[in-house]
């Protein structure tokens, strides 16, 4: 008999189809649902503050939402209220990143810590040996225990970038049933089998930000105080005022509002002086970057290796060379200068379709790393 698999059920079409496929393959399936505290509803976007409802009310609301899904799939769906964990591990990280002038990537934190961490531990208590999700990615295991992560078949939906910081152990107990499918295949299969999602739209990178936007969200967080300050050009001349560095990221054009013959772009966030440094687009290009806290899925390289690298999720992977400076740190030298290298974002390394690992961008690299 096949081992019991827990499927992370969000209520969207991807997770429903993943559960249906595993049942068709003969796996005993348990559904598990993680409450973040930021779900849609009368208290949407409020996290676990006093107005967000009690844990019992959050669990009851999730059960009501998912009851049609459980009935259609003929599985039980157990609820984990992870609101406190989500606030501490993801939201606080997000806020602190903006406070220090970085642009965070919450899914790269959430997946290893919560979805494949806390939620898997919850699933183990229910008797599951593996955790499946609706990610568009592929994982392969060798008989000697080595594990490999690959891009999903559908290039438009590939989510391997967001899984690059999973440990080998986490990948070894993960299943991605949609990895060999396209999104259109998934939607067609769901319709054919009456798998109707109970949540609307596609999942988003920043699931806890509503239509009010980042600025409003951050300003509403405890201890976060927007600090207005000067906008300066690359010569250090003050040309305007900003309402807070948290409203900007490197490469941004919108919101600078300083008249000039050609548009200004955000070049750097100077948190020490609370200055927004702006300049022409050509100043955004960098020949390389420094990356720290790298999670290597296989053994770390002992010397320089050619790779392709993504410096954010929507960035196409580009040729580069990794020059290790420690087991978990490296300088990445781009084959061609890249635009808007942004501290706080994830740099994910590929060899063909295989994900080698990923770490955090901590700054540009303009010199010779050797």
Catalogue the active-site residues: 110, 207
Q: Return the axis-axis angle of helices 183-192 and 13-24, rounded to nearest 10°.
A: 70
Q: Tell me the β-bridge partners of 348.
A: 310, 358
With contact defined as beta carbons under 8 Å apart, do 87 and 47 qualify? yes
């Amino acid at each position: 008999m096949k081992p019991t698999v827990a499927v992370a059920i969000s209520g969207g079409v991807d997770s429903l189809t993943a559960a249906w496929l595993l049942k068709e393959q003969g796996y005993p399936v348990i559904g598990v649902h993680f409450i973040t505290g930021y779900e849609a509803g009368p208290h949407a976007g409020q996290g676990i503050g006093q107005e967000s409802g009690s844990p019992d009310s959050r669990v009851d609301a999730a059960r009501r939402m998912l009851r049609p899904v459980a009935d259609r799939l003929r599985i039980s769906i157990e609820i984990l209220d992870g609101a406190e964990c989500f606030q501490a591990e993801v939201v606080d990280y997000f806020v602190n990143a903006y406070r220090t002038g970085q642009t965070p990537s919450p899914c790269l934190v959430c997946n290893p810590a919560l979805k494949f961490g806390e939620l898997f531990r919850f699933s183990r208590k229910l008797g599951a040996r593996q955790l499946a999700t609706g990610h568009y990615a592929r994982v392969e295991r060798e008989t000697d225990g080595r594990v490999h992560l690959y891009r999903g078949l559908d290039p438009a939906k590939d989510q391997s970038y967001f899984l690059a910081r999973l440990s080998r152990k986490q990948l070894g107990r993960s299943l991605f049933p949609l990895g060999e499918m396209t999104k259109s295949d998934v939607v067609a299969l769901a319709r054919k089998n009456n798998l109707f999602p109970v949540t609307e739209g596609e999942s988003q990178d920043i699931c806890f930000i509503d239509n009010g936007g980042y600025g409003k969200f951050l300003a509403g967080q405890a201890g976060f105080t927007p600090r207005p300050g000067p906008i300066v050009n690359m010569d250090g001349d003050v040309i305007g005022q900003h309402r807070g560095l948290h409203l900007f990221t490197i490469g941004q054009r919108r919101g600078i509002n300083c008249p000039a013959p050609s548009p200004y772009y955000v070049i750097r966030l100077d948190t020490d002086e609370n200055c927004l440094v702006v300049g022409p687009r050509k100043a955004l290009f960098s020949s390389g970057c420094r990356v720290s806290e790298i999670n290597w899925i296989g053994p770390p390289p002992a010397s320089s290796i050619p790779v392709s690298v993504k410096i954010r999720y929507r960035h196409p992977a580009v040729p580069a060379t990794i020059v290790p400076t420690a087991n978990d740190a490296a300088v990445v030298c781009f084959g061609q200068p890249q635009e808007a290298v942004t501290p706080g974002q994830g740099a994910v390394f590929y060899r063909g379709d295989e994900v080698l690992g990923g770490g955090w961008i901590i700054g540009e690299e303009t010199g010779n790393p050797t």
